[in-house]
Structure 1
Amino acid sequence: MKLSRAASRYAKAILDLAVEKNEASAVNEDMKSVLVTVHKNKELRQFLQSPLIKSDQKRGALRQIFKDSNGITMGAFDLIVDNNRADILQDVAMKYNILFEEMNKREIATVTTAVEITPQLETKVLEKARTLAGKEVTLEKKIDPSILGGFILRVGDKEINASVQATLGELKREFAQ
């Protein structure tokens, strides 16, 4: 996923301030919460992206939804909304998480499965992700029923696509020739 330059700049500035105040870890947890909440809630995404909704309403909604967040996170909400960039909040949160993991010499690996992953399989996937990355890895799990079965593992710019959907697509291309 390509993130906007603006999202990267906001995330970097937020991380710099959080590191300076020694609250980078707490802000990272807030950003994970923002990322999950905005991703799972279509109405919230539309609300933040709408040019018809006033900044004060967006700011109030974010402060209410994430009322337990760190002061730096609240300040970031204010700055982003005041600059009419609430539409990139999800990207800012994602980029912050990436920068935080890089700062701690870790990488984020994403595994997508059709159903919930078992703890035993999670251990094996985490081991494979560490091998691919060559460093400590944090595993992010996603469920996408459209892949039908198997998994897709992404670590940095590497991807292992062992999904049923990809296998069926390969077979279809072979038979089409």
Structure 2
Amino acid sequence: MALCNRVRSGISLFSKSLFLSSQRSTLHRSLVAPSVSLASRYYADVPGQKDSDVKVPLALFGGSGNYASALYIASVKSKAVEKVEAELNIFVEAVKNSTVFSQFIKDLSVAKDVRVKAIQDICGQAKFSDVTKNFLVLVAENGRLKNIDTIAKRFAELAMAYKGEVKATVTTVVPLPPEEEKALKETLQEIIGSGAKVNLEQKIDPSILGGLVLEFSQKVFDMSIKTRAQQMERILREPVNISNI
């Protein structure tokens, strides 16, 4: 909670001083250069760089996947995967809660040095680890802050695999009672086996009308009333073959 408050405080302070003068921008350039250089050296030529010492557990594609993979490699090397995951999630949530900062990170017309200095200030206020701070500086430098939510989600997938967890998502109309959630989780654990731990996430979607939709290990089991109704409708629309009656 204290860390969350520090991030929110940092973003709040930034929002109050968003409109900077050209004189301060010049000062930012002189202050930012060392940290930008440090971030670039720390991550070398990533995203896209392969490291023979650290293997990424999942193949992620696209720009966000490459950034998440680069952060994973750095986190594993620093033995800070869970810490980085927590800090990244806190940063993303704090951004979502600040309309001003959300707009700021999506505005590519903002000078690179201003973006980087803002991230440095926020990370310093939050006392983020060097891995998280250097990564966010690199993302800001490359104009990818607008993708940070997606990058964080992809990194979470890698962190889950690192911890030996399998994510399962169950979608229902109303929240499952605790005993049903427990039973479902135990069933999934038996299916997956003892080599991995099930991480069950519940989602609410009234549009499925009833039943449930279960997703895990790239499999989807759709047992919703909506899907059954659609299947029944297709059957009823099929022409009747009188010869078979």
Give 2:82's aligned residue: 25
Match of 2:207 in 1: 146
Match in the other structure for 1:167: 228
Q: 1:85 to 1:114 in 2, by over 3 A?
A: same
RMSD: 3.4
Task: Give the unaligned 5+ runs of structure 1.
Answer: none
Matched, 1:70 2:135: no
Shift of residue 31 of structure 1?
A: 3.8
Which of residues 170, 176, 191 in structure 2 aligns to 1:111? 170
Q: Residue 7 of structure 1 corresponds to which residue in structure 2? A: 64
Superposition TM-score, scaled by structure 1 size = 0.76
2:152: which partner in 1? 93
Task: Quote how far apart the aligned CAs of 1:133 are.
Answer: 3.0
Question: How high is the sequence identity, in percent, across the aligned residues?
Answer: 25
Query: Is the deviation greater in 145-154 or in 54-63?
Result: 54-63
1:115 partner SS:
coil
Offset from partner CA, 1:20-70 (integer Å, 9 cap, x none): 2222111222344456x39x77x67776445455553597489759x6473
CA–CA distance in structure 1, aligned partners of residues 134 and 223 of structure 2: 42
In our comparison, the structure showing a higher alpha carbon Rg is: 2
For the structure 1 residues 22 and 114, does the alpha-carbon distance in structure 2 shift closer, same or farther, using more than 3 Å as the test? same
Look up the match of 1:131. 190
Contact 1:132/1:155 (8 A) holds in 2: no
8 Å contact from structure 2 (residues 172, 211) kept in 1: yes
Q: 1:70 corresponds to which letter in structure 2?
A: F
Distance change >3 Å, CA 147–CA 32, structure 1 → 2? farther
Structure 2 residues without counterparts, runs of 5 or longer: 1-59, 239-245
Q: 1:61 to 1:19 in 2, by over 3 A?
A: closer
Q: Which has the higher strand share?
A: 1
Q: Find the residue that maps to 2:214 and give its secondary structure.
A: strand
